[in-house]
Structure 1
Amino acid sequence: MTTHETLKQIEELQQRCEEYEDLSLKLNWESLRREPGGGGAEWFVTYEDELLVGFIGLYSFGSEIEVCGMVRPGYRRRGIFSSLWKRAQSYIARQGAHNVLLNAPAASKSAVGFLKTLPLAFDHAEYQMKWHEEKADERSAFENKILPDDHVILRPARADEVPLLVALDSAGFGMTPQDAANMYDEFVEEDSNEHIIIELEGQPAGKLRLWTEHHETWIYGFTVDEKLRGRGIGRSALLQTIQREKRSGNGVNLEVALDNPNALRLYESCGFVVTNKQDYLRYVG
């Protein structure tokens, strides 16, 4: 079976699990579709009678590995995920990861039951949010007012600006410069990601990354230089992005840490609504 065929089966399994529990799984598809070792995820699967029944994905971010998985409804409580987790542990040990985070939807009863069996400590939670035009109207971010700002410009980042992206990520998200740099090892200007520089009056002031699939765009790594915050730069960049994606017929989504109330208020004021909550638990075994 080809990798492409397996990925199609993983996608079908994800859809089945999400429909069954009415939740959203974070499988980082942009990483799944890349080759392992080339910025891609490592993953393991389990079949029964040629049917894909279990999956676990491991996503490396610098010295940290995130883990997410699923088991087909009707095949749970058979030790399938426990077996996948053992395979994942062997891979993690070989990689020498300093931190391991298991990620699961907060609303998933099956995930909560399994996670209780592991030595874990709560690390953080993230909200997944989606832009709704009616909420934007209610909060005074209506279409006619989402106009380009002459002082705040968004433009594609160039490959020679990777050090700038690294510096902004490092400062904005508390990452080590090395971990931030590792995220750009496979920087390609024409890949499925769009790396965007936010400029204020011609000078770099922040950055964000866009990833689009099936007419849904996700905003990641959105940060503004700490020295320039409070001047409406982030709001202008966000509204311009919404306007652009809406013209292209794309939905707009993002993630925000639960402990970042300022960002949450900004997103809500622009019309974003919480659709899902993901819990991240640190493995301490």
Structure 2
Amino acid sequence: MATQEILREIEELQRRCEDYDGISLKLNWDSLRSEPGSGGAQWLYTYEEGLLAGFIGLYSFGGEVEVCGMVRPGYRRRGIFTSLWQQAYKQIVRMKAKSILLNAPAASKSASGFLKTLPLEFNHAEYQMKWDYEKAEDRSAFENKILPDDMVILRPARADEKRLLAVLDSMGFNTTLEEAVEMYEELDGESSNEHIIIELEGQPVGKMRLWTEHHETWIYAFTVDERMRGRGIGRSALIQTIQRERRIGNGINLEVALDNPNALGLYESCGFVITNKQDYYRYIS
């Protein structure tokens, strides 16, 4: 079966599970559509009665593997996900991953039941948020272009700036530089990702990654050098990004860690509203 046909079936299965359970699954479609050797996900799946019944995606980020999966309603409680997980775990061991994170929507009862069978500890939670003009505190900011004398500039990252991106990530997200560099090597070649450098008066002070599909743009890995925070740089960069995506006709989405109240407050004041919550659990081997 052609890869594109399998991807269409995975997408259909995702819609079926989300509609049935009232949840939003984080399947990282940019990784699913890329080759594993160039930063893409690895995945396992199974068929029952001619239908794609179960799926697990393995997403490698700088030595850490994230796991997310699903089973078709009506085919649950048959051991399908347990069998897929056992296969996936063997594959992760061969990958020599430093750690394993299992991701599940907080509202998923079926995921909650399965996770209780594994040796896990809660790691963190993330809110998924979507921009809503009516919720923005200062709507005029989105009706006007950034003033010419605004010194916060957004530009595409150059091919030779991977290390700069990695340095900003390591400072902003509490990872080692080596892990951040490894992640950018894995992302290399993913044309769907747009890496953005944030400059203040010509100097790089932050970055973000944009991914767009079906007229929906996601903002990932958005950070400003902690030495430059509190000067409105992040707000200006966020507003400029929202303005650009609105002109194109795209919706704007992002994720924020539950334990990051400053970022959450910024996003909410700019008009983002919480749509879903994702929980992450660390596997204890």
TM above 0.5, yes or no, is: yes
**Cα offset, 1:144, TM superposition:** 2.4
SS in structure 1 opposite 2:36? Answer: coil
SS in structure 1 opposite 2:5? Answer: helix
Query: Do the aligned partners of 1:128 and 1:276 also contact (CA within 8 Å) in 2?
Result: yes
> Match for 1:271: what amino acid?
G
* Separation in structure 1 between the aligned mates of residue 143 and residue 45 of structure 2, nearest angstrom: 48
TM-score by length of 1: 0.96
In the TM superposition, what are the counterparts of 1:194-213 in structure 2 within 5 Å? Answer: 194-213=194-213
**Cα offset, 1:187, TM superposition:** 5.5
* 2:143 paired with 1:144: yes
SS in structure 2 opposite 1:278? Answer: strand
Query: Do the aligned partners of 1:159 and 1:189 also contact (CA within 8 Å) in 2?
Result: no
Query: Do the aligned partners of 1:152 and 1:237 also contact (CA within 8 Å) in 2?
Result: yes
Aligned to 2:17: 17
Gap change, CA 1:46 and 1:187, over 3 Å in 2 = closer
**Cα offset, 1:49, TM superposition:** 2.0
Aligned to 1:267: 267
Aligned to 1:237: 237
* Separation in structure 2 between the aligned mates of residue 106 and residue 210 of structure 1, nearest angstrom: 25
Query: Do the aligned partners of 1:71 and 1:81 also contact (CA within 8 Å) in 2?
Result: yes
SS in structure 2 opposite 1:150? Answer: coil
Gap change, CA 1:117 and 1:189, over 3 Å in 2 = closer
**Identity percentage of aligned residues:** 72
* 2:151 paired with 1:155: no
Structure 1 unaligned regions, length at least 5: none
> Match for 1:140: what amino acid?
D
**Cα offset, 1:123, TM superposition:** 0.2
**Cα offset, 1:92, TM superposition:** 1.0
* 2:113 paired with 1:113: yes
CA distances 1:182-221 after superposition (whole Å, capped 9, x unpaired): 1221565881111000000111110001000000000001
**Cα offset, 1:53, TM superposition:** 0.5
TM-score by length of 2: 0.96
* Separation in structure 2 between the aligned mates of residue 114 and residue 190 of structure 1, nearest angstrom: 32
Gap change, CA 1:64 and 1:75, over 3 Å in 2 = same
Count of paired positions = 283
Query: Do the aligned partners of 1:54 and 1:72 also contact (CA within 8 Å) in 2?
Result: yes
> Match for 2:280: what amino acid?
Y
Query: Do the aligned partners of 2:38 and 2:190 also contact (CA within 8 Å) in 1?
Result: no
* Separation in structure 2 between the aligned mates of residue 122 and residue 221 of structure 1, nearest angstrom: 22
In the TM superposition, what are the counterparts of 1:37-186 in structure 2 within 5 Å? Answer: 37-136=37-136, 139-142=137-140, 143-145=142-144, 147-148=146-147, 150-185=150-185
* Separation in structure 1 between the aligned mates of residue 189 and residue 202 of structure 2, nearest angstrom: 21
Query: Do the aligned partners of 1:122 and 1:280 also contact (CA within 8 Å) in 2?
Result: yes
> Match for 1:258: what amino acid?
L
**Cα offset, 1:147, TM superposition:** 2.5
SS in structure 1 opposite 2:276? Answer: strand
**Cα offset, 1:146, TM superposition:** 5.6
* Separation in structure 1 between the aligned mates of residue 19 and residue 50 of structure 2, nearest angstrom: 22
* Separation in structure 2 between the aligned mates of residue 128 and residue 146 of structure 1, nearest angstrom: 27
**Cα offset, 1:177, TM superposition:** 1.0
RMSD: 1.3
SS in structure 1 opposite 2:252? Answer: strand
* Separation in structure 2 between the aligned mates of residue 256 and residue 170 of structure 1, nearest angstrom: 17
Query: Do the aligned partners of 2:38 and 2:188 also contact (CA within 8 Å) in 1?
Result: no
> Match for 1:28: what amino acid?
N
* Separation in structure 1 between the aligned mates of residue 123 and residue 173 of structure 2, nearest angstrom: 15
SS in structure 2 opposite 1:94? Answer: helix
* Separation in structure 2 between the aligned mates of residue 159 and residue 210 of structure 1, nearest angstrom: 16
Aligned to 2:28: 28
* Separation in structure 1 between the aligned mates of residue 156 and residue 61 of structure 2, nearest angstrom: 23
CA distances 1:216-267 after superposition (whole Å, capped 9, x unpaired): 0000010001110000000000000000000000000000000000000000
